[in-house]
Structures are given as C-alpha cells and as structure tokens.
Chains A and B, each alone.
Chain A
Amino acid sequence: MSDHITEIVVFTFLFLLVSGMGFVASRWRAPKDMAHLDEWGLGGRSFGGWITWFLVGGDLYTAYTFVAVPALIFGAGAAGFFAVPYTVIIYPLFFLILIRLWSVSHRHGFVTPADFVRTRFDSPTLALVIAITGIVATMPYIALQLIGIEAVLKTMGVTGESTIARHLPIIIAFAILAAYTYQSGLRAPALIAFVKDTLIYIVILVAIIWLPYKLGGWNAIFDAADAKFQASPAPNDGITLNANNQVQYFTLALGSALALFLYPHSITGVLASKNRDVIKRNMSALPAYSLLLGLIALLGYMAIAAGVKPLPGATPGSVDSNTVVPVLFDQQFPAWFTGIAFAAIGIGALVPAAIMSIAAANLFTRNIYKEYLRKDATHAQEANVAKITSLVVKIGAVACIVFLDPQFSIDLQLIGGVIILQTAPAVVVGLYTRWLHRGALVAGWAAGMAVGFWMLWQIPNAATGRKHFGGSAFPLSEFGLDSTKTIYVGFVAVLVNALVAVIVTLILRAAKTPEGVDGTEADDYFADEGDPRIEKQRTTPVDNVSST
C-alpha cells in the first residue's frame, strides 16, 4: 500500500472535491421550491446544451464501461469493439424517437417512461410492468459502478482481510454519494459530470498519445494483440471477427443501443433538458464520447502490448480482468497522473450511479407509490418519497457488492439489458401508434422475458466453467439450425415479444376487448418549450388544498 501513497492522496483529494460540489449543487440554479419531483428528479427540466451534453455523456458512458470494455478487448479482441457501432447508432435513434418522448412528457409532466405508457394506453398494469422492469434492470447497473471503483481501489492496494474492511472505502464513498443525491437530486450529478468528463478526456488524450509512443506505435500494439489471440486456444478471439460471431456483433450493437435508450437513467437525462433543440443539437455532439470510448477500448490492446497481468479475483485461481486498465496505468504512468486517472474512474462511477438511483426512485414514486399506495400524494410527498427511495436503492446496490459474489451483479446486468429491451414495444412503438393493444403488450412482454431468460440460462461460460448465464451470445444451433453462428439474446427475445404482441392484438381486437382511452393527442408529440402544460392529467382528482 505504501508505494501507492501519491495515487491515494490525489484520488482522495479529487474525490472529496467533487463530494463538496455535490452538496453545493442544491443551490446551483436553485428553484423557488425544491419539494417537487420535477426539481429533485429532473433538475427543473431546465438544462441547456452544455449541461445536457455533460450529463447525458456522463450518464451513458459509465465507470463500468470504462473498465469493462477494455477488459473485454483484452480478453476477446474485436468482439469487444461492438461498443463503438453501438454508440454510433444510438444517436440517430434518439434523434428520431426519444425526441417525441420528450415532447409528450413536457406536455403532460411525465417523469418516467411508465408515466407515458400509463396515459397512452390507459393501463396502470402495463405501467407497473414497465416500471418494475426498469427498476430491476437498473439495480445491478448501479452495483456495477461499484465494481468500477473497486477495480481502482484494488490496484492501489486498498484492500483488507475481512469482508467489511475490504469494502469499507466503497461503503464510505456510497454513503457520501447517497447524502448529496438526497439533498441535491439531479443537480448533483449534472454538476459533478463537468469534473468527471474533463478528467476523463484529459487522461485518455494523454494515454493514447503517450502509450503508443512508449509501446512502439499502433502497428506494434495491434500485432502484439494479434499474436496473443493467434496463440490462444479460444475459438472466437482475434483482432477481427470470424465467420461465427459477426451476427452476434451487430445484433449486440443494435440490441444494446435500443436497450440503452430504454434504461430509465438515459430517459431521465433526456427529459431534464429544456427543449427539443437542446436534444437534437446534442445528438451531433454526444458522439465525441463514442470516440473517447473507442479509444478507451483500445487500452485493452495496449495492456496486451505492455504485458499487463490482471490482479487475482475474489476466488483463488481466478483473475479480475476489470483490473487490466488500472494496472496498465499503474505500470506506465507516474503516480500523480495515475492518481488522476483513478479519480476519473472513481468519480465516473458516481455520476451514473446517482442518475440511476434517481431514475429508479422516480419510477417507484410515480408508478408504484402514487399509483397504488397513495393516490392523493402531493408534489412535496412525491419528492420526499423519491429521495428516500434513492437511499434505499443505493443501500441495496452496496449490499449486492458486499454480500454477494460480484459475478452475480455482472450476470444481473447481462439479464438487465435483455429485460429492459422488452419494454420497447410499449414505449417505442407506443410513441408512434396505439395500434398494439394494452393487453397484448403485457403478453408480449411476458413472452419476451420468458424467452430471454430461457436463452440466457442455456449459455455456458467456457472460461469460468459455469453452466448458465455465461454470456449473451446464443448459438443458433440450439434452435435446431445447422449453423455455428451466435446471436444476441435480447434481439431474439424482443422479436418474439413483438410477434406475440401483434398476434394477441389481433385476437383481443376480434374479441372486442376494451382498449382504454388515449390520454395524449397527436400534437403532444411535437410540443416544445413554451407550449402550455396539461396539468392534472392523471385520472385521480388531486388537491388544491395542500396535504391532508
């Protein structure tokens, strides 16, 4: 631990600095009345171009991404580079589709995608399904941010013997995070994102100029990686794809892009912007982060060229591949710079973790608490419940990491991506048409979930010797096809989901099952800043008299 003192000092200093910012954030662009979910949970729906850029960028590109993507490239090569096409295709999708969600949410004061589904399809049940899916998918994602911090702490030698001692730094970090998120809401990650992203950009720019210079140039780096994969017995690694994993590559890129924009935290980031123009302009500016992510991914190859050995994992004999990038920095850079890089990753975990917990809290408050537990809740009560829920969510995430095998969170996140995709027919198709029946959407969701789980259960992981949940690449031969190709599970599951939704719609229509009343109008999908709000859209008559 002593030879890492400089790193630890720099890391701690920057960490405390942003924590201070998190608390101050409640006074940044302060509203008249913070006791409203629009303020705490969406930053007053007032963020302009720059803030949105940093916030959404800091939100989509998480610490776990920065640690796990290069680890994937380090281990498997080209297959891990799917992160680049994935983050290219997401922005045109946002541009076309999510902009409509912003408009309709602006008009009706929706805070969550489930709010939209409820009004559009007149179905609290469907909204509940969407909300629970969102919460379940988000929880392990928060836990994974902790794995990002842990990889850094482990490299700095901050570990202990007992379970509690080992996790103490993380518990403290998350307690601070929980406190300022409770106080400042979405304003805290928005403000911290400035620091986080500035640090990350600096660190990566230095790394991609300095490391190739030190390691003999890009040619040598790619050749070293090529040599490693040629020598390894694994069939599907290499610096390009092979005949078997190309379908997996593009279905994973497409499925991940769709999943990412259905995740509650990305929608929260988008809804917090102040008008359509801000979102559209950001879709041209956010790909700067994709470039960054691509370069970060290549750190995996640099680690190969530098001969990095990842640190041992939790169980004897295993390696923790997430430590690849931290170890690379530790080996190649002076301690003070490594400290900055580690702080960038650590703070990088805080921004998305805060936004995710806020998004999950919004879902719980709007679609469970207000819908089922307390229909006449005031705005102040909503904000209060959301604040408390965000605390509970974070405690849950820490407990997952402390008491369970971290692998469990990784499995859950894998499942999370697949299940969040199952909300696509209701949310995405629902933004364009109400043709699908609300009952059919529930049926399609159930079918997609069942297929997704079954497929994930079938996939073994050859490297760790586990029989189930070993990855997201499903061999087509399992469907009885004569093929050695693989495909992304979520992609198949959402196709099944859509198919079932269409068939059941036709059946329910034939049986004349009531469809409910659409609470939105065509024009709502183009509403912009300055258009009047429709207040009190919800069916329950709500107070003019304050809380009872």
Chain B
Amino acid sequence: MAEPERRRTDRSPWNWLLLVPIVVPLLTFLYNHDEPRLAGFPLFYWLQFAFILLGVTTTTIVYQMTKRRSRP
C-alpha cells in the first residue's frame, strides 16, 4: 500500500457548525412558552419546527463546504 502522500481526513472547521443543530434543540428554556403564537401554533411548537429548518440548513452548508473535490 503506497499512499504516503494522500493522507485523508474529515477534519474541517466547518464541522463545528453541526454543533448548533445538536445543542440548540436541547435548550428547553428557549422555546418552552405558549406566547407568541404563530398561525395559532404556540411558540413551543413552531420554534421546534423551525429547528428542523436549522438542521437542514447547517448540514447542507457543511456538506457543501466539505465536499471532496473529485479525485483524479
């Protein structure tokens, strides 16, 4: 196995961004309120639905920024 040159890694500073959708949904004090309601939904529900969007956005960003350039 001759591959001294090409030491691969998946380390990237962008990965830290993924901590956001892991930590934020666990902070109950952020969303544990009834008011303000949005379209009839208490804050507790609509904000947690919004976290889904947060998760999608961050994973998409990290994926795009860490995508491996196509290797020859």
A residues within 8 Å of B by Cβ? 78, 81, 84-85, 88-89, 91-93, 95-96, 99-100, 212, 217-222, 226, 239-241, 246, 249-250, 253-254, 277, 280-281, 283-284, 287, 290-291, 294, 298, 522-523, 525-526, 528
Distance to closest chain A CB from B55 (angstroms): 5
Residues of chain A within 8 A (CB-CB) of B48 are 81, 84-85, 88, 294
The verdict on A81 contacting B55 (CB below 8 Å), with A96-B15, A96-B18 known, is no
> Would you call B55 and A92 a contact (CB within 8 A)?
yes
Chain B residues within an 8 Å CB radius of A239: 34, 42, 44
CB of B25, distance to nearest CB on chain A (Å): 4
How many interface residues does chain B have, given as a range?
Answer: 35 or more
Smallest CB–CB gap between A293 and chain B, Å?
Answer: 10
Query: Is B7 a contact partner of A523 (Cβ separation < 8 A)?
Result: yes
Residues of A within 8 A of B68 (CB): 528
Closest 4 CB pairs of A and B: A218-B40, A85-B25, A219-B40, A526-B8
B69 to chain A minimum Cβ distance, whole angstroms, is 12
- Docked pose: A241 CA to B48 CA in angstroms: 13
Chain B residues in 8 Å Cβ range of A96: 15, 18
B residues in contact with A218, CB < 8 Å: 39-41
Give Cα A338–Cα B54 distance, bound, in whole angstroms.
34
Once bound together, how far apart are the Cα atoms of A91 and B19, in whole Å?
11
Provided the pairs A246-B28, A253-B26 are in contact, do residues A240 and B33 lie with their beta carbons within 8 angstroms?
A: yes
Interface of B is mostly: helix
Cβ distance A141 to chain B, nearest Cβ, rounded Å? 24
Task: Give the shortest distance, in Å, between A282 (CB) and chain B (any CB).
Answer: 10
Q: A240, B42: Cβ atoms under 8 Å?
A: yes
* Contact of B26 with A84 in the complex, beta carbons under 8 Å: no
Chain B residues lying within 8 Å of A254, measured Cβ to Cβ, are: 26
**Complex: A83 Cα to B17 Cα, angstroms:** 22
Contacts of B8 in A (CB 8 A): 523, 526
From A81, A99, A284, give the contact of B44 (CB < 8 A).
A81
Q: List A contacts of B28 (CB < 8 A).
A: 241, 246, 249-250
Q: Which residue of B lies closest to A523 (CB)?
A: B8
**Docked CA distance A91–B18 (Å):** 9
Q: Which chain A residues lie closer than 8 Å to B37 at the CB level?
A: 219, 222
Question: B residues within 8 A CB of A291?
Answer: 49, 52
Residues of B within 8 A of A (CB): 3, 7-10, 15, 18-19, 21-22, 25-29, 32-34, 37, 39-42, 44-45, 48-49, 51-52, 54-56, 58-60, 62-63, 67-68
Q: Which residues of A contact B3 (CB under 8 A)?
A: 523
- Residue in A220, A240, A294 whose Cβ sees the most chain B Cβ within 10 Å: A240
A19 to B: closest C-beta gap in Å: 33
When the two chains form their complex, are residues A222 and B42 in contact, meaning their CB atoms are under 8 A apart?
A: yes
Cα of A88 to Cα of B10 in the assembled complex, Å: 22
A88 to chain B: which residues have CB within 8 Å?
21, 25, 48, 51-52, 54-55
Max chain B CB contacts within 10 Å: which of A78, A212, A246, A254? A78
Task: For the complex, give the distance between the alpha carbons of A277 and B71 in Å.
Answer: 14
* Contact among B32, B39, B42, B67 for A246, CB-based, below 8 A: B32
A85 CB to nearest B CB, Å: 4
27 A-B pairs, CB-CB below 8 angstroms?
Answer: A81-B44, A81-B48, A84-B49, A85-B26, A89-B26, A92-B55, A92-B58, A96-B15, A99-B10, A100-B10, A220-B40, A222-B42, A222-B45, A239-B42, A241-B28, A241-B32, A241-B44, A246-B29, A250-B26, A250-B28, A280-B59, A283-B59, A287-B52, A287-B55, A290-B52, A291-B52, A294-B52
Among B39, B52, B60, B63, chain A packs the most CB atoms within 10 A around the CB of: B52
Flag if B44 contacts A91 (CB, 8 Å).
Answer: no
Report Cα–Cα, A525/B10, bound state, in Å: 9
CA distance A254 to B22 in the complex (A): 9
Instruction: Give the nearest-CB partner of A220 in chain B.
Output: B40
**Pick the contact of A91 from B27, B41, B59 — CB < 8 Å?**
B59
Q: A249-B28, A526-B8, A526-B9 are in contact. Are A84 and B63 (CB under 8 A)?
A: no
Which residue of chain A is the closest to B57 with respect to CB atoms? A284
B62: chain A residues at CB < 8 Å are: 95
State A159–B13 Cα separation when bound (angstroms). Answer: 58
Q: Which residue of A lies closest to B53 (CB)?
A: A287
Known: A92-B55, A241-B44. 12 other contacts (CB 8 A): A81-B48, A85-B25, A88-B51, A91-B55, A95-B18, A218-B40, A219-B37, A222-B42, A239-B34, A240-B42, A280-B63, A526-B9
Q: How far is the CA of A241 from the CA of B10 in the complex (A)?
A: 39
Complex interface: chain B residues within 8 A of A287 (CB): 52, 55-56
Chain A neighbourhood of B49, CB < 8 A: 84, 291, 294
Given the complex, which residues of A lie within 8 Å of B55, measured CB to CB? 88-89, 91-92, 287, 290
* Chain A residue with the shortest CB-CB distance to B34: A240
Q: Which chain A residues lie closer than 8 Å to B27 at the CB level?
A: 250
Alpha-carbon distance between A81 and B60 when the two chains are bound, in angstroms: 25
A217 to B52, CA, bound (A): 23
Q: Give the chain B neighbours of A528 by CB distance below 8 A.
A: 68
- Complexed CA–CA distance, A280 and B18 (Å): 12
Q: Which of B10, B40, B41, B56 contacts A526, CB < 8 Å?
A: B10
Chain B proximity of A278: nearest CB distance (Å): 11
Most buried by A among B29, B44, B54, B59: B59
Partner of B22 from A78, A92, A222 at Cβ < 8 Å: A92
